[in-house]
Amino acid sequence: MCGIWASVGIDATTAAIQAVAHRGPDGQGWESHDSPAGPLLLGHRRLSILDLSAAGAQPMGLPGHDLRIVYNGEIYNHVELRDELESKGHRFVTRTDTEVLLAAYAEWGEACLDRMNGMFAFVLWDRRRNRLFAARDRFGVKPLYWWRTETGGVAFASEIKQFATVAGFEARLERSATYDFLAWGVFDHSAATLLAGVRQLRGGECAGLTLDGRGQIEVRRWYALPRPGSLTMPASQAAETFRHLLDDSVRLRLRSDVPVGSCLSGGLDSSAIVCLATRRLQQPMVTVSACYDDDAIDERHFIDIVNAARPTRPVHVFPDGADLSTLLDTLVHHQDGPFGSTSVFAQWCVFQAARAQGVPVMLDGQGADEQLAGYHPAFTAYHADLLRTARLSLLMRELAAQRRRHGTGRIWQAAVLGRALLPQVGRQALRRLRGIHRPAWLHADFAAGHHVPLPATADLDTLMTSQMQETSLPMLLHYEDRNSMAHGVESRLPFLDYRLVELTVGLGSRHKIVDGETKWILRHAMEAILPPEIRHRQDKVGFATPERRWLAGPARDLVRDSVAQATLRFPEFFNGPALQSIASDVLEGVRPFDFTLWRIVSFAAWGRVAGISP
C-alpha cells in the first residue's frame, strides 16, 4: 500500500512524491529516465506489508523484460499467481506481489488484469514498446489521477495534491462536478474531478500512453459488472455460495507480514468480517470502534456482543465535535477535497487509533450495503418493482412485513406505490413540484452538473447499480482510502472481492429483501457464525455521528464562519443571503437538519486550504 507518481515530459521533483509521504512512511524511491517524449520520472512511497526487506522497494523492475513499475495496492491471490507463473518458467527474488504483477504482465500483457483479485493502481513503463500502461482495480478501491499539461506532458498520481507541486499547475474548479457535489452531495461519479484538467481513471479502467510527445492517453474499460439478474439459483444455494466466497475473501485478505485488525461498528457487515477473521487467526484480533455518549447512534451494545463472542482486543474511540473544528483543515487536506458528512471525521479517528495500536492493516465492511440492498430506500425500490410487475400477493406480504418490522405507515406506503405507477413524465413533474431542483442558495447562472438523481421508485437493480458506480460506493472508497492512508494504514475490504460482487450483482434483486429484511443472503449465510442479536438486527444506524448536535454546539462558530467564507470566496456560486438564512434556521432548529450545511462548511475549508479559485 503506497503512494505513486509517474510523469513524462514534465519537470517534476521529488516533492511530487513527498506530498504523499503519509501513504508510505517506510521508504521512498525516485527514478529519472530518458524517453522520446522527454524525462520520464517514477516515484514511490512505501508502506511495507509484504516482504518487509529492502528487496520490496519501488520503482521495481523485472530483469530481462525492460519493465519498471510503481504500484499501490495488494493482489490478494499473489501466492496462486506466483505458483502459476513459476510453472511457466518465471523465477522470483522477492516475496512481494509487486514482482508477481510484473511477471504477470510479462506473461499475459494487459490481460493480466483479469487474473488479479485485489485492489490496485499502478503505472508500468514498458520500455520495449515505448509505452506507459496504467490501471485501476475493478471497483476503484485505490485511486489514480492523471493530468496533461498544455505542452503535452502527462502525470499520474495517487492524490490530486501531488500535481500542485509542479510549476504551472493551477487549482481551478471544474464547475459541473462542483455543482454535483454542492447540490446533490455526490462526487467521483465520473472521470471528472472537482479540479479542472484533473481526471481520474474510474474503477475497472486502464490507460495507455505511447511516449511520442503528443500526450494522447487512450482510456478503455477492462472490467464491467455482470448484468443484474443474470444468475438464478435457489435461496439455500445462494446463501451457501455467498458464505463460501466471503469466507475465502477474508482468508485472502489476512495475508500479511504485519498485524491485521478490523473496524467494528456492531452492524451486520463489520461483525461478519470479525467473526470470520477470528476463526482463522492464532491470536486475538484488534477491533476499533467509534462510540458516542448518545443512545440514538451509539452501538456499543452490539459491539460488545461481537467482542464477547470472539477472541478480540477491543479499542474504543470517542470522536468529539470540539476536535472536529480543530482538525477540519487537516481533514480536507488529506481528503483532497470537501466531504459530505462528519462521519469522515469519525472514520479518521478509527484509523488513527489503529495505527497507534501498531496495526497497519485493517479490514472493513465497505461495499456490502450497495450490493445487498442494505440501505432502507431499497424497500421502496423493491416494492415498486413488485407493483409494476404485478406480483401483488408477494407485494402485500412484503408491505405487511415492513410495517411489522420497521413500523412503516400504510399511508406512506400507498403514496410511494402511487408514485411508482406514474409515467416517467409524471414523476418528473412531481419532483419539480416538491422542489427537487436547483437549490435557492446556488446562483441560477451556475452551470448545472451531470448527475441526475434517481426517483425513489426506480427499480431495485437500477438503484443498486447506481449506488455501486455513482452515488455511494465511489465516495465511500475515496473517504476510506484517504483516511486510512493518512495514518499509514492499509484498509482491506472483503465484501469487494470481485467473485462475491459478481454473485450478488448477478442475482439482481433475488435474495436481497425477504419478509421485510434487508441483506437476507448475508443474514442466512452467517446463520451459524454471527451472534443472533447481530444477525437479527433490523435498525440501520450506519456510520453515524451526532452531526446536528455538533454543528449547533461545539462547531457553531465554525459553521457561521464557513458560510461567510464560502460566500466571499465564491460569490459567483453562492447566493449569500439565502445561504446564511439556511444556516441560521438549521442552527436554531427552525429548519430540518440535512447534510447540505456540512457540504458548505467543508467546501469552504477546502477552498481556503488548497487555494482553490473559481
Tell the burial category of 555 from Cβ atoms under 10 Å away from its Cβ (0-12, 13-18, 19+).
buried
Instruction: Convert the pLDDT of each residue in 136-189 to its tens digit.
Output: 999 999 999 999 999 899 999 999 999 999 999 999 999 999 999 999 999 999
Beta pairing partners, 42: 6, 31
Q: What is the DSSP string of 457-506?
A: TS-HHHHHHHIIIIISHHHHHHHHHHHHHHTT-EEE-GGG-HHHHHHHHH
What length is written for the chain? 614
Verify that 13 and 38 share a domain, yes or no: yes
Verify that 199 and 59 share a domain, yes or no: yes
Q: How far is CA 272 from the centre of its chain?
A: 19
Verify that 149 and 247 share a domain, yes or no: no
Q: Do residues 372 and 521 touch, judged by C-beta distance below 8 A?
A: yes
Residue with grid cell 439565502, as numbered in its chain: 578
Verify that 210 and 261 share a domain, yes or no: no
Q: What is the mean pLDDT of the chain?
A: 93
* pTM (whole model) above 0.85: yes
Instruction: Convert the pLDDT of each residue in 238-260 to its tens digit.
Output: 999 999 999 999 999 999 999 99
Verify that 480 and 566 share a domain, yes or no: no
**For residue 428, is pLDDT > 70?**
no
**Quick one: pLDDT at residue 435?**
44
**Quick one: pLDDT at residue 446?**
74
Say which residues have a Cβ less than 8 Å from residue 391's Cβ, sequence separation at least 6.
none
**Quick one: pLDDT at residue 457?**
81
Q: Is residue 228 part of a domain?
A: no
**Quick one: pLDDT at residue 544?**
77
Verify that 360 and 426 share a domain, yes or no: no
Residue with grid cell 501466492, as numbered in its chain: 79
The C-alpha cell that represents 408 in the structure block:
412503516
Instruction: Convert the pLDDT of each residue in 322-362 to its tens digit.
Output: 999 999 999 999 999 999 999 999 999 999 999 999 999 99
**For residue 219, is pLDDT > 50?**
yes
Domain end: 221, 248, 280, which one? 221
Q: Do residues 541 and 376 touch, judged by C-beta distance below 8 A?
A: no
Q: Is residue 230 part of a domain?
A: no
Rounded Cα distance between 298 and 292, Å, is: 5
Q: Is residue 226 part of a domain?
A: no
Q: Strand, coil or helix: what is 125?
A: strand
**Amino acid occupying residue 607:** G
Beta pairing partners, 207: 134, 219
Verify that 334 and 396 share a domain, yes or no: no
The C-alpha cell that represents 452 in the structure block:
441526475
Q: Do residues 457 and 379 touch, judged by C-beta distance below 8 A?
A: no
Question: What SS3 string covers 287-325?
Answer: EEEECCCCCCCCCHHHHHHHHHHCCEEEEEECCCHHHHH
Pairing verdict, β 60-62 and 361-363: unpaired
CATH code for position 486: 3.40.50.620
Domain that holds residue 94: 2-221
Verify that 259 and 149 share a domain, yes or no: no
**Quick one: pLDDT at residue 256?**
97
Predicted confidence band of residue 433 (pLDDT cuts 50, 70, 90): very low
Domain end: 221, 247, 281, which one? 221
Kindly give the residue spans of alpha helices, DSSP state H, lying in 310-423: 321-335, 343-356, 368-372, 377-388, 392-406, 410-421
What would the mean pLDDT of 504-514 be, rounded to a whole number?
96
The C-alpha cell that represents 249 in the structure block:
475473501
Rounded Cα distance between 531 and 499, Å, is: 26
Verify that 486 and 430 share a domain, yes or no: no
Beta pairing partners, 200: 145
- Phi-psi bin for 9: left (phi > 0), alpha (psi -120 to 50), beta? left
Rounded Cα distance between 584 and 153, Å, is: 47
Q: Is residue 540 part of a domain?
A: no
Rounded Cα distance between 70 and 47, Å, is: 13
Predicted confidence band of residue 452 (pLDDT cuts 50, 70, 90): confident
Q: Is residue 541 part of a domain?
A: no
Q: Do residues 518 and 260 touch, judged by C-beta distance below 8 A?
A: no
Verify that 291 and 358 share a domain, yes or no: yes
User: How many domains is the chain partitioned into structurally?
Assistant: 4
Domain end: 515, 535, 555, which one? 535
**For residue 425, is pLDDT > 50?**
no
**Quick one: pLDDT at residue 449?**
81
Predicted confidence band of residue 412 (pLDDT cuts 50, 70, 90): low
Rounded Cα distance between 411 and 295, Å, is: 29
Q: Is residue 542 part of a domain?
A: no
Rounded Cα distance between 547 and 604, Å, is: 18
Q: Nearest CA to 8 among 180, 181, 208, 189?
A: 208
Rounded Cα distance between 207 and 133, Å, is: 6
Verify that 99 and 217 share a domain, yes or no: yes
Predicted confidence band of residue 539 (pLDDT cuts 50, 70, 90): confident
Rounded Cα distance between 201 and 220, Å, is: 9
Predicted confidence band of residue 406 (pLDDT cuts 50, 70, 90): confident
Q: Is residue 54 part of a domain?
A: yes
Crossing angle of helices 321-335 and 473-486, rounded to 10°: 100
